[in-house]
Amino acid sequence: MAHEQIVITTPDGRCPAHVFTPAGGQGGPAVIFYMDAGGIRPAELAMAQRLADAGYVVLLPDLYYRYGAYGPFDPREVFKGDFRVILGPLMATTGNAKAAADTDVYLAYLDQRSDVHGQRVGAVGFCMGGGMAISAGGTRPERFAAIASFHGGNLATDAADSPHRSAPALQAELYIAAAEGDGSYPPEMAERFEKALNDAGVTFSSQTYPAKHGWMKPDFPVYDQDAAEHGWRQLLAFFGRTLG
């Protein structure tokens, strides 16, 4: 399979990004991959490659491009101390609204690729990327067919850019994979988020995994291989059904 490193110009600057395509050059439906707070690093690239190997053209933008050069970080080392000291300044440069604002340029890039099949795309986000994927789907609802969030946090808050506020605009089907005992997505928040989806008539399914926040990430100290493999099966079945 092919791996390209590109730069996408946004209203706020130049966004480095990675593009992974299926082996054989046959292309496939496009998926935008929204990273977690650990940033771009080998494990993130490997996950995007695995998704491409399943038949998708995967765009992995560096959501910290407004910050500038950093890392790459080793999450196992970062989480030994106060991760907010290290990652907080980077996280402060992005958010749901800023990620959503970049949706048009990401879609425009995908539209000019001859190996992308179809106009409607998918999105998957992990941790902070979960909410960003949902917010992006509400920005250009006609373009997103499927959105998956894995251990996404703060999906229904009082913030102006809270992902649950995108529910009335969403046309995509959602898959929400929550972590057990996740302080960033407690049961009362999940109830508020799902009520917003139900009230808006959004088609979705949700599942709480018996694993900790971040279980999908192979370089996180909480990585759970069994739960992660189940998550991959769910994700690929979801995209296979909704994106073809």
User: Sorting pLDDT into bands at 50, 70 and 90, what band is 25?
Assistant: confident
131 torsion bin: left (phi>0), alpha (psi -120 to 50), beta (else): alpha
Neighbours of 141 (CB within 10 A): 14
Question: Which CATH code is given to the segment(s) 2-242?
Answer: 3.40.50.1820
* Burial class of 237 by CB neighbour count within 10 A (0 to 12, 13 to 18, 19+): exposed
Strands 13-21 and 2-10: antiparallel
Q: Are 124 and 150 in contact (CB under 8 A)?
A: yes
Phi, then psi, of 226 in degrees rounded to 5: -65, -45
- List all residues 6 or more positions away from 237 whose beta carbon is below 8 Å from its beta carbon: none
Cβ–Cβ < 8 Å for 57, 28:
yes
pLDDT band at 1 (very low <50, low <70, confident <90, very high): low
**190-224 per-position pLDDT tens digit:** 999 999 999 999 999 999 999 999 999 999 999 99
The model's pLDDT over 164-175, given as tens digits with 9 standing for 90+, comes to 999 999 999 999
Query: Could you tell me the residue ranges of all domains in the chain?
Result: 2-242
